[in-house]
Amino acid sequence: MRTVIFGIISYLLFAACSNAQTDFDKYFENQSMRVDLILGGNKHMQSVYLLEIKQEPFWGGSINNLVDELGYGEYHFTIRNKESDELIYSRGFCTLFEEWRTTEEAKSINKAFYQTVTFPYPKEEVIFTLNERRKDGSYNALLTMVINPDDTNIRKEKVPDYEVVKLVDNGEPANMVDLTFIAEGYQLDEMDKFKADVKRMADYILSMEPYKSQQHKINFWAVCSPSIDSEADNPRRDKWVNTAVNSSFNTFYIDRYLETGDVISIRDIAACAPYDHICVLVNSDKYGGGGIYNHFSIGTSDHPSAREVMLHEIGHGFGGLADEYYTSDVAYQNFFDLNVEPWQPNITTLVNFDSKWKHLVDPSTPIPTPVSKKYEDVSGVFEGGGYVEKGVYRPAVNCRMKTNEAEGFCPACQAALTKMIEFVTD
């Protein structure tokens, strides 16, 4: 591991050394296009509106695996070349809005949330389509539009002039998992603490499987985005602070649920560095966090369980993993339909278990698997998971996606994370 200050010169070197496959070079520039959207609605309906389109300086994602093969996420977007209609990029993702739609509040009022998606900057006109996942797993188009990359109104503002540090450097962003941490609730004179906090997180994450075995494929970046005030909003204490991305505890009235709807500011800051996944580190000793697939992960710096929480949240945000717990207080109602196999790789309704971790379960292990001493340390199918006590099953008695006390990720979660690392880095 070595530390370097990232600058334009090193970026140009990356670009010059890049060994891109034909498709990427044919269709894309080595920069990002960002589409900012508003998702609005209630429990029963949703609509999508275009806010604006931006050009950003870095593309940190894969240049080989451009079309999604994993099928994760409640939403999905596709980019097609307009002239040939060829599918040239797609990804799945999740949103804070979709979680809100399962709360009690969504039965009685309409609300809107910011949402952003990024993809490599197209060279020619493309057709952008945003899909929602239907209950049966098929997709329904919510928005389709043509984007001309030469449109004069695509915003090309300079990114903020924040210090960017590559804390763990294993190679070019195109071939690595780039986990990019941005500072939240750190004042300008607290940036040495921020960098030390990110390093502590990185060292812990890289000590845990499957990241430990794959650490040569992972970069860690720190973007030193200053806040006017320290820490984060805490509504239950009537504490309100002015911070870089406006994070707050008590999301959906759950004290430990730390989130922000200000994904616009998050993306503006993260644009300072290449990234595959954005991690927001909040300068606080309070317990809390959140992680949403292909959106961002967020956690605090100084609670005694902060490292375990951040690892768990990145499991959601980067790995698309579900929560394996089912007894804690959450705001969600009927989060999973028991008649449908969920897309998350670490829970099952047994509707299509063959598509999940069946290969990890010994044929002598009963399905469902009783929670007993005999099966304590093996892969099985244990009832309870995904906030649901009955009808949703998890792969292990305990796992980092269930508790902070677990030793680490269960084998099914490790396998899913390894698959994601390979998809991003191949």
Q: How far is the CB of 160 from Zn ion (least distance, A)?
A: 37
- Between 20 and 330, whose beta carbon lies closer to Zn ion? 330
Q: How far is the CB of 385 from Zn ion (least distance, A)?
A: 9
Length of the chain: 426
Whole-angstrom Cα Rg for the chain: 21
- Between 111 and 358, whose beta carbon lies closer to Zn ion? 358
- Token reading at 342: 């969920």
Give the N- to C-terminal CA distance of the chain in Å, as an integer: 21
- Token reading at 226: 């200053």
Q: Is 213 exposed, middle or buried (0-12, 13-18, 19+ CB in 10 A)?
A: exposed
Q: For residues 185 and 226, give the distance between their C-alpha atoms in angstroms, rounded to a whole number.
A: 7
Asked if 35 and 117 touch (Cβ cutoff 8 Å), the reply is: yes
Q: For residues 420 and 417, give the distance between their C-alpha atoms in angstroms, rounded to a whole number.
A: 5
- Between 266 and 417, whose beta carbon lies closer to Zn ion? 417
- Between 344 and 346, whose beta carbon lies closer to Zn ion? 346
- Between 35 and 399, whose beta carbon lies closer to Zn ion? 399
* Sheet strands side by side (includes 111-122): 46-56, 28-41, 111-122
Q: How far is the CB of 40 from Zn ion (least distance, A)?
A: 34
Name the residue among 225, 222, 242 with its Cα closest to residue 160: 225
Q: How far is the CB of 402 from Zn ion (least distance, A)?
A: 7
Q: How far is the CB of 324 from Zn ion (least distance, A)?
A: 5
- Between 61 and 384, whose beta carbon lies closer to Zn ion? 384
Sole residue written with tokens 């804070």: 96
- Token reading at 349: 């309704």
Positions touching Zn ion (CB under 5 A) are 346, 399, 401, 410, 413
Q: How far is the CB of 210 from Zn ion (least distance, A)?
A: 12
